[in-house]
């Protein structure tokens, strides 16, 4: 009886200790874009190892839009975003008293992918992609030859980003001409792995998502060269073509936003500094295009100088180059 009561007491003490430890556990909360996820997740893994798991970093994939809802509700410390914050999101954050620092972390070659067994599709123009994805195509454009008579009389199976995705907004603006303007009869997901699976399993599949997911699955997918509207030349999705400016209009900057209030927490500030100091290496590892070193140093300077807000004025912009982005950020 005595031994049992001692055991119960010991378990009770251990339980209280564990509860106290959990209550004081340092957690950095991140959500948002599935496109930016591979970068932030790589940083989180290395940071947690460096801290010997004294700090827990959670990284969700609600999509850019879904993530900003949480961010502006004061539920997260960081927001991954595959496009700049919108005017509506700026209003929501302002209403909630949420200030933030905008930090570009990489460039992406938004990639249109097809099944590797597709033997007829060698390239696509913006006009062809628009004909395939615009709202008017819903229920009417269902076969390849309806887009281009040289293509076969076979069904098209579409896979694309969900409505809460920043990739959805960027792709529709760049291809259709208006953000969120898209047919709705396609397989949609904020999780790019779902789209990878869909296209890889259907010979008539076509979809789009961030380059890192294509790079990770090159044996299962084929990246479709996109005809540059200015030069008329088909350009493959690649880091080199993003850097030389030829991969348009699907080359884009991707971002991380940090909440000003969260910067008061030592673990958040430490994670941010680790992110910016290791971003160039980890961005390259996950197959995106790193920014010049000055960009990451500039992000840290903006945090130090409390440069809150965005340089995009609540609008998404198609075709902004790395050089243009750097100039704009420097003027903030």
Among 20-34, 133-147, 198-212, 242-256, the least confident range: 20-34
**What pTM did the predictor assign?**
0.87
Which domains, and CATH codes, for the chain?
2-107+253-330 (3.40.190.10), 111-243 (3.40.190.10)
Per-residue pLDDT tens digits for 175-185 = 999 999 999 99
Give phi and psi for 231, each to the nearest 5: -100, -20
The Cα 129–Cα 105 span in angstroms is: 28
Q: Is 318 left (phi over 0), alpha (psi -120 to 50) or beta?
A: beta
pLDDT class for 330, splitting at 50, 70, 90? confident
Q: Which of 69, 72, 85, 82 is nearest to 261 (CA)?
A: 72
């Amino acid at each position: 009886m005595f031994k049992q009561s001692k055991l119960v007491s010991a378990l009770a003490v251990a339980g209280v200790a564990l509860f106290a430890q959990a209550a004081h556990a340092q957690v950095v909360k991140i959500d948002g874009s599935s496109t930016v996820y591979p970068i932030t997740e790589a940083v989180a893994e290395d940071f947690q190892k460096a801290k010997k798991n004294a700090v827990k970093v959670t990284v969700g994939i609600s999509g850019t839009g879904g993530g900003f809802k949480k961010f502006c509700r004061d539920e997260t410390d960081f927001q991954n975003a595959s496009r700049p914050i919108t005017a509506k999101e700026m209003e929501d954050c302002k209403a909630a008293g949420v200030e933030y620092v905008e930090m570009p972390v990489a460039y992406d070659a938004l990639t249109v992918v097809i099944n590797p067994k597709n033997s007829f599709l060698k390239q696509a123009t913006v006009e062809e992609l628009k004909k395939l994805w615009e709202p008017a195509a819903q229920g009417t454009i269902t076969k390849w030859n309806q887009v281009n008579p040289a293509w076969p009389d076979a069904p098209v199976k579409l896979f694309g980003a969900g409505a809460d995705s920043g990739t959805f907004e960027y792709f529709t603006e760049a291809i259709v001409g208006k953000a969120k303007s898209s047919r709705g009869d396609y397989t949609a997901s904020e999780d790019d792995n779902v789209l990878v699976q869909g296209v890889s399993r259907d010979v008539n599949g076509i979809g789009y998502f961030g380059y890192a997911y294509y790079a990770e699955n090159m044996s299962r997918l084929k990246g479709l060269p996109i005809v540059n509207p200015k030069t008329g030349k088909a350009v493959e999705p690649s880091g080199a073509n993003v850097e030389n400016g030829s991969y348009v209009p699907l080359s884009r900057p991707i971002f991380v936003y940090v909440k000003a209030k969260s910067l008061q927490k030592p673990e958040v500030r430490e994670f941010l500094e680790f992110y910016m100091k290791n971003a160039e290496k980890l961005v390259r590892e996950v197959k995106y295009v790193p920014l010049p070193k000055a960009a990451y140093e500039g992000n840290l300077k903006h945090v130090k100088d409390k440069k809150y807000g965005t340089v995009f004025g609540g609008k998404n912009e198609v075709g902004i180059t790395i050089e243009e982005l750097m100039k704009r950020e420097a003027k903030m």
